[in-house]
Amino acid sequence: MAPFRSKLPDVGTTIFTIMSQRARELGALNLGQGFPDYDIDPRLAELTGEAMRQGHNQYAPMEGVPELREHIARKLAASYGGDFDPQSQITVSLGATEAIYSAVQAVVGKDEEAIAFDPAYDSYEPAVRLAGGRCLRLPLLPPDFRYDWDRVRAAVTPRTRLILFNSPHNPACTAATPGDLDALAAIIRGRDICVLSDEVYEHVLFDGRVHASVLSHPELRPKSFAVFSFGKTLHATGLRVGYCVAAPALTSELRKVHQFNTFSIANPLQHAIAAYLAERPQTGRELAAFFQAKRDRLRAALAGSGFVLPPAQGTFFQLLDFGRLLPPGDLEFAERALTEARVATIPLAPFYAEPPKLSVVRLCIAKRDDTLDEAAARLADFAAQLSRAGA
Ligand SMILES: Cc1ncc(COP(=O)(O)O)c(C=O)c1O
């Protein structure tokens, strides 16, 4: 038999899975993959059981449970202004990942192009390639990871159909400004280009920053698929419930893919989340303070260690800069941190199509305080060893 011809020959297991697996094998603390190590609100677990006992165990509506979409619409209106019609603009998806995948399939055709910014979340490019398209990746570079909008403008061609945008940004820990959104809007003005705006960290912005959502931008909103995740908002990445917000014409195209991709999302979970949001309509608002305290705890514990912690404007992450202690090489550093300090981190190189020389790795702060304290102590010891070795 002829060898199987892979559609994604260069795609292997993601760095997140590899690091989590190795952390387990080595008994290391896992500050790599972005998931909490603390319990969810027990009320959500109760409501999930109740939803199953109430009999919400058969197929949910393809576009999502109406009560849940109504809560989402109210929340979006409160956060971003304007009206959101749950019937024609909100689709419940299997996490943000499915919303990204389905939106890309809905928009990008064979030999068409999408633009993503590196370091880019790892599902973007494979989704574009499986649609038969080409993903052009424009680098954002440390320390500031700023957008070069002239370069983006120059990268647009008549084949460009989609720009994949992410703010607050994983893994750069930066937040887009209203000026960034204006620049993006100017670039796609008058062109047949949509935006996929990955806003899964919409609530996790620090130091009083306000999230610049495409949904509050009058020119971008009609051209965008905005993607969100209850896994992030409810500290429960295993829920796999997210949603996509888009204008009716875009939503209708998205649903054509969604209905043959996942068809519909776990019915009891959607009912449980709807009931939870009915009891706690402010859900999400507490996240900025919660994660800012964790960021500050980790930063304080590593101050003076020799590692530098660049400013983090948002997300569940904090970058760690090892450039004062070791030459650039984030893959090598992540390996040494894992085996010598017993702390799993995530290098940034796998988020780039063409990785520059990097002196930063990503740490996940969605961890119990004692996990963060222990990880910081191990990393500080490691830094001291490195300084002694270099001295
Ligand atoms: C930037 C970004 N987009 C999308 C996702 C995927 O979200 P979900 O777990 O809801 O599929 C993640 C998860 O880590 C993420 O960091």
Question: What pLDDT digit, counting tens, does each position of 54-91 carry?
Answer: 999 999 999 999 999 999 999 999 999 999 999 999 99
Q: Is the CB of 237 under 6 A from ligand 1?
A: yes
Residue 215's pLDDT is 98
Answer for the pair 106, 257: CB distance below 8 angstroms, yes or no.
yes
Q: Is the CB of 97 under 6 A from ligand 1?
A: yes
Whole-number Å distance, alpha carbon 96 to ligand 1 midpoint, is 6
**pLDDT at position 326 over 90:** yes
Q: How far apart are CA 332 and CA 347, in angstroms?
A: 9
Whole-number Å distance, alpha carbon 190 to ligand 1 midpoint, is 30
Answer for the pair 271, 49: CB distance below 8 angstroms, yes or no.
no
Burial of 297 (0-12, 13-18, 19+ CB in 10 A): middle
Q: What percent of the chain has pLDDT over 90?
A: 95
- In the predicted model, what is the mean pLDDT of residues 249-277? 98
Q: Is the CB of 170 under 6 A from ligand 1?
A: yes
Residue 12's pLDDT is 86
Residue 3's pLDDT is 87
Whole-number Å distance, alpha carbon 237 to ligand 1 midpoint, is 9
- Hey, how many other C-beta atoms are within 10 angstroms of the C-beta on 187? 19
Q: What is the pLDDT of residues 189-199, one digit of tens each?
A: 999 999 999 99
The verdict on pTM exceeding 0.95 is: yes
Whole-number Å distance, alpha carbon 99 to ligand 1 midpoint, is 10
Atom of ligand 1 nearest to the CA of 237: 9
Whole-number Å distance, alpha carbon 381 to ligand 1 midpoint, is 32
Q: How far apart are CA 182 and CA 45, in angstroms?
A: 41
Whole-number Å distance, alpha carbon 164 to ligand 1 midpoint, is 13
- Hey, how many other C-beta atoms are within 10 angstroms of the C-beta on 280? 15
Answer for the pair 138, 84: CB distance below 8 angstroms, yes or no.
no
* Least confident interval from 14-18, 28-32, 146-150, 360-364: 14-18
- In the predicted model, what is the mean pLDDT of residues 102-131? 98
**pLDDT at position 15 over 70:** yes
Residue 203's pLDDT is 98
Q: Is the CB of 121 under 6 A from ligand 1?
A: yes
- In the predicted model, what is the mean pLDDT of residues 155-174? 98
Answer for the pair 295, 312: CB distance below 8 angstroms, yes or no.
yes
Residue 13's pLDDT is 86
Name which residue sits closest to atom 7 of ligand 1, judged by CA.
Answer: 96
Residue 1's pLDDT is 79
User: pLDDT-based confidence at 16, cuts 50/70/90?
Assistant: confident
Residue 391's pLDDT is 58
The domains located in the chain, with CATH, are 15-39+285-390 (3.90.1150.10), 42-279 (3.40.640.10)
Q: Is the CB of 32 under 6 A from ligand 1?
A: no
**pLDDT at position 7 over 80:** yes
What average pLDDT is seen over the chain?
Answer: 97
Give me the residues paired with residue 90 across strands: 245
Q: Is the CB of 345 under 6 A from ligand 1?
A: no
Whole-number Å distance, alpha carbon 121 to ligand 1 midpoint, is 8
The C-alpha angle with vertex 201 and arms to 195 and 206, in degrees rounded to 5, equals 120
